[in-house]
Amino acid sequence: MIALQESPMSPMFLIVMVIFVVFFMIIPQVRRSKNEKKFKQSLSKGAKVVTTGGIHGKLVEINEGTVMIETNAGKLLLEKSALNMELTQKYNAPEKTADKK
Cβ(65)–Cβ(80) below 8 Å: yes
Q: Please give the class, per CATH, of domain 44-95.
A: mainly beta
Q: Which of 50, 39, 33, 47 is nearest to 90 (CA)?
A: 50
Residues 59, 42 contacting (CB under 8 angstroms): no
| 7 phi, psi to nearest 5 deg | -65, 135
**What's the pLDDT at 84?**
93
**pLDDT, position 92:** 86
d(CA 69, CA 78): 8
For the entire predicted model, the pTM comes to 0.68
Q: Which helix (H) or strand (E) holds 86?
A: helix 85-92
Q: Residues in the chain, how many? A: 101
Residue 61 pLDDT: 95
Domain residues of the chain, as ranges? 10-42, 44-95
Q: What is the pLDDT along the chain (101 residues), one digit of tens a residue?
A: 555 556 656 788 888 888 988 888 889 999 999 999 999 999 999 999 999 999 999 999 999 999 999 999 999 999 999 999 999 989 888 876 655 55
Q: What is the pLDDT of residue 56?
A: 95
